[in-house]
Structure 1
Amino acid sequence: MPAYCAPPLDAAVLRAVETALVSHPTFGDSNHIREQLAVACRRCLHTLGSALPEAGRLATLLDGAPPARQRQLLGDTVLRCAVQHAMRRLQLPDGYGLPLPQCAALFQVAAEHLRAGLPGGPLAAHLPPMARLHDTRAMGEEDTGADIYIWHAWQEDTPYARAFLTIMHDNHGAALATPTPHERTLLRRGLRLLETLLPRLTASTLSHVQLVALLPELGTRRGKASSLPLRGHGSVFLNRELIGNPWWLAEHLLHEALHQKLHDLRYGHSLLAPDYACDDGIKICALWNAPDDDGNHDWHAHRVLAGFHAYVHLALLCLQAERQEAVLTPQYGPIGQHMRGSRRAIDRARYLGEQLHSTIWPELGMAGRHMTQWLLDALDVLDTQRRPAGATLHLLLDLYQRQSRQLAAFLMRQPPPDGDALAWQAAHELAMTREALHMLDRELPPASLAQELHWPQARQRILQALWPLTHDAILMERAAYPQAQALIAQMVQQSSRQLAALGALA
């Protein structure tokens, strides 16, 4: 069975990659990215000024404000939503987003906030001091994480709080959770761990976040780790039921903040082609995601680019965490299964990078192509045991193994719903695996009839037979390997749908 840790790298190499990821003048420097975002937002406000005078007055005030002040104000989740929603309402008659009169009122409040010289944005202005994510301590201008707040149900009758809750209801249909004192402690502990592992990358990435909010584990979100429902507008949402482990929290906090950083980058740079249209665009299959009717396994260009960007950074985080685990365990506990592992992050990044080059390339803009190559260069440093191009069996088996554990847990909780159906499914998956192995002159080890008919045991036999194939570079060069790999992909995805129909993945 696989180990999800890649070979360790020297501390100096990891520091060099971290420096590269935060210092690239276009794709890494957060001050530059946020300055370009401010330029784009001011341009939109000036455009809106012809229909909404409040937008024009705010734009004029921002034009005369210091760059750091512009970045702070325009990082406000609600203000950025108001700009986007107002632009859309003037361009498309689809009724999307906040009404124009409400947007105008929000622009007016933002102008008053700016004139008064208040820090941050209007949404966080009414949150209590205890809601700061960082511990209260003196910080310089460069420590932009000092502006991050944890959402509390506090003075909710302000215009910005009302708008924020409206947007949240439209995206989630449920109220946000107000964190307990213990949950605030947990969030700060996870942040301290992240800062310990990657101090420069944490400061850079979290400068794109103003608000962290906790979601109750309800309805369709049950089991979902984190969420980015506001299209990247400066807020991160985490499942409150899952924040107890600091390693998990460090990874997910960085992951969601990276999406914010990339979203900000999209405002000022041509990451996607000018004629890119999501609905008609090319899609690739994220092989580690379960196929479902919502298409969560089919990714468009913007999601492939976002995933690639995130996984390269997460590979660095996991390598650094694995290197320092022994030193940090007394304070934070062992990593265990609470991080995805450097090998898994590298493998997903490599697959998405290859797909960007081979399939998605026509849908990338000039900046998107340059960023892809820059990130591939960083990945090449981290990936010291690169798999042959086109190899995907390890990604398929990652999903198959995770779902095997879910199946075993499901069957332990309740009697099998239909023993004959489970036995047929086991036999079907074994038959497809035998066929794929036969193409490569390999065989499935013999087993008893009971093992053949017991679905969880059959899946374990399949994993034991197939995992060695993911490391055999000579075998991967054989002409039959792509066909065998495609057959395994068909088996894994068909099995996943069967598990979903059974209710084992809920």
Structure 2
Amino acid sequence: MMNLSGAVHAADRALSEHPFFGDSPRILAKVLARYRFGLELFAERLPSLARAVATVEKLGDADARRIFFDPLVRLMLERGFSELEAGRLMAPHPLEELLPGALEVLPLGLCESRMPSRLRVGSKVPKWLWDVARPSDPYAQALHSAFDGIFGENPKSRGTLLSPEASAQRKIDDSIELLSMLLPHSGAAALTHIEAIALLSARLEGGTVLSAAGGDLTPSTIFLSLDDLGNPWDIAGSLLHEGLHMKLFDATRSVSVAAAPAETIQVPWRNIRWSIVRTVFAYHVYVHLSLFKAAALSVDRALTERFGDPSAYATRPHAMSVVNNGGGSRFGRSIDRARYLGEQLQTTWSHLLTPQGRDFVRWLGESLAPVDREVFGEEAVGSAGDPERAAYQKVPGLRARPATQGECLMVFSPGAPKLHWLDLNAWLIFELSDGRTFPEMERAYLEVIGGRVEPDEARRQLRSGLESLVRSTLVVPTRQKGEAV
């Protein structure tokens, strides 16, 4: 059996190897190629860009990244793509000023060059820290405007940018090193998608903001509240969290994961509905944070002597924390949320994903599964303990109706109330949940599936589908027949 550290190492490597979603050098190469091609197309409609575009074309990838990953330049590049596709790209355009200006200040990035203090963190792919001490500068004003767009739309929200100090630089440097040591493949890769870090103190309607990704308004930038995060383990976790968002932003420039991006779903730990895109992004993060938690549990003494024992820090519980992961509530841990989202995305919500999206979800789940078994050691199927020692039956009072043409079964749960859509596989497992024990279900399932899939894959599909039905409260595990009360 694989040991704890071996399981963590294998998952860390696996999560950095998928050609579309894990391989950061490949993802970043595609981003740079997209921007180079975009500039070529833009210059055909903005002739004044021609000389700057020719210069950019000759740059190596490191300098090209400094140009393209600058928050304001990247913002205008994405605007350029939108205008190009809408047939509205024309002069005058902000890129006509920004691009030559970015070339002039190399090897710094354009916005970085306007910062009063020049603080960088990280060594492999250094990131620069926003400094807000010069708000009169037009580039600083533009960054502030973008920040206000994130935190100023809701009257119940407030946010303040903070200027960095040397102590903040040291904290972030230490946390980058900690993350890179714990997850040298997937963690270090996520960091390469971050270009800039801004420090903030902010509240949204839901509470204190610990970290955030800039998204479309401040591309390539993440925000950290160092005072609220407090310790290097949770700062490292937030760097991983936001770096993963940046990584998936970059990956989905060329690969679509959502077939119905406008569709929304409800998760049990939030009182607002999420878009399916947000759900996929969240699952990506929870899988990696579960791995990060497992890595922290297997850490050697040298790291705890340097960064402190995670259990020694006092902080409020939350699912993103390594120090206090909220195990007292049903979905208080990252692993609980990863399990739930993974099962739902592979079953109930799978029709909302593209084939690439379903492959993405499957890859994440398969990468984490050995760590889940080895580290967390809990079965995800309800509360009946070992699923192979339980029997399963449908929840009383359900209403069901087949949609034969759509090859699915509609099931309404009055207790929720909620309408569930079961695909053919889930439908079969649902029908087999008539009081049979797990071994009895397995025999019947294999008889139906026959030679269409390998037996091991069929068993995986049965277990996965059954776990999803239990989580959806359509099926309940009970005591095995003849077991003592």
In structure 2, the residue matched to 1:319 is: 294
Residue 16 of structure 2 corresponds to residue 22 of structure 1: yes
Partner SS state of residue 76, structure 2: helix
Q: Would you say 1:126 and 2:114 are equivalent positions?
A: yes
User: What is the match of residue 257 of structure 2?
Assistant: 271
User: 1:364-422, CA deviations, whole angstroms, 9 ceiling, x for partnerless residues?
Assistant: 2333232222212202221214635xx5x7xxxxxxxxxxxxxxxxxxxxxxxxxxxxx
Change (3 A) 1:470 1:202: same
TM superposition shift of 1:117: 7.3
**RMSD between aligned residues:** 3.6
Q: Kindly provide the amino acid, as one letter, of the partner of residue 285 in structure 2.
A: A
Match of 1:152 among 131, 137, 141: 131
Residues 403-462 of structure 1: CA deviation (Å, up to 9, x unaligned): xxxxxxxxxxxxxxxxxxxxxxxxxxxxxxxxxxxxxxxxxxxxxxxxxxxxxxxxxxxx
Distance 1:65 1:185, change over 3 A: closer
How far residue 257 of structure 1 moved from its aligned partner, in angstroms, is 0.5
**One of 190, 194, 198 as aligned partner of 2:179:** 194
- 3-state DSSP class of the match of 1:299? strand
- Provide the rounded CA distance (Å) in 2 between the counterparts of 1:36 and 1:386: 39
The answer as to whether partners of 2:130 and 2:196 remain within 8 angstroms in 1 is yes
Counterpart among 147, 150, 153 of residue 168 in structure 1 = 147
Larger displacement relative to structure 2 (352-361 or 303-312): 352-361
The alpha carbon displacement at 1:9 in A equals 4.4
Residue 30 (structure 1) shift: 1.2
Amino acid at match of 2:379: R
What TM-score, normalized by structure 1, do the two folds share? 0.66
Identity of aligned residues (%): 27
For residues 124 and 100 of structure 1, do their structure 2 counterparts lie closer, same or farther at Cα, with a shift above 3 Å needed?
farther
Q: In 2, are the aligned partners of 1:54 and 1:108 still within 8 Å (CA)?
A: no
Could you tell me the TM-score, scaled by structure 2's length?
A: 0.68
How far 1:481 moved relative to its partner? 8.4
Q: Distance in 1 between matches of 2:170 and 2:349?
A: 42
Q: More strand per residue: 1 or 2? A: 2
From the superposition, tell whether residues 222 and 10 of structure 1 become closer, same or farther in structure 2 (CA, over 3 Å). closer
Quick one: structure 1 residues 371 and 61, their matched pair in 2 at CA, closer, same or farther if it must change by over 3 Å?
farther
- Shift in Å at residue 194 of structure 1? 1.6
Superposed counterparts of 1:469-480, under 5 Å: 469=383, 471=385, 473=387, 477-480=392-395
Q: Is residue 272–residue 365 contact of structure 1 (8 Å, CA) maintained in 2?
A: yes
CA distance, structure 1, for counterparts of residue 236 and residue 363 of structure 2: 25
SS in 2 for 1:315: helix
Partner of 1:254: 240
Residue pair 1:8, 1:323 contacting (<8 A) in 2 also: no
* Partner deviation per Cα, 1:101-138 (whole Å, 9 max, x = no partner): 78x34443333433x4712521123336651123xxxx
**Alpha-carbon shift at residue 229 of structure 1 (Å):** 3.8
**Structure 1 residues 179, 89: closer, same or farther in 2, change over 3 A?**
same
2:72 corresponds to: 78
Q: Which of 285, 303, 309 is 1:310 aligned to? A: 285
What is the total number of aligned residue pairs between the two structures?
A: 380
Indicate the residue corresponding to 2:426 in structure 1.
Answer: none
For 1:233, what is the secondary structure of its paired residue? Answer: coil
Q: What amino acid is the match of 1:376? A: G
Superposition pairs of residues 87-486 of structure 1, within 5 angstroms? 87-88=81-82, 104-114=93-103, 116=104, 118-127=106-115, 130-134=118-122, 143-144=124-125, 146=126, 148-173=127-152, 174-218=159-203, 220=205, 222-231=207-216, 233-273=219-259, 276=260, 278-279=261-262, 281=263, 283-289=264-270, 291=271, 295=272, 298-324=273-299, 327-336=302-311, 337=317, 338-339=321-322, 341=325, 344-384=333-373, 385=377, 387-388=379-380, 391=381, 469=383, 471=385, 473=387, 477-480=392-395
Return the structure number with greater relative CO, CA threshold 8 A, min gap 6: 1
In structure 2, the gaps of 5 or more residues are: 153-158, 312-316, 328-332, 399-412, 418-485
**Deviations 1:261-293 (CA, angstroms, capped at 9, x unpaired):** 0000011223333xx4x33x2x3222222x1xx
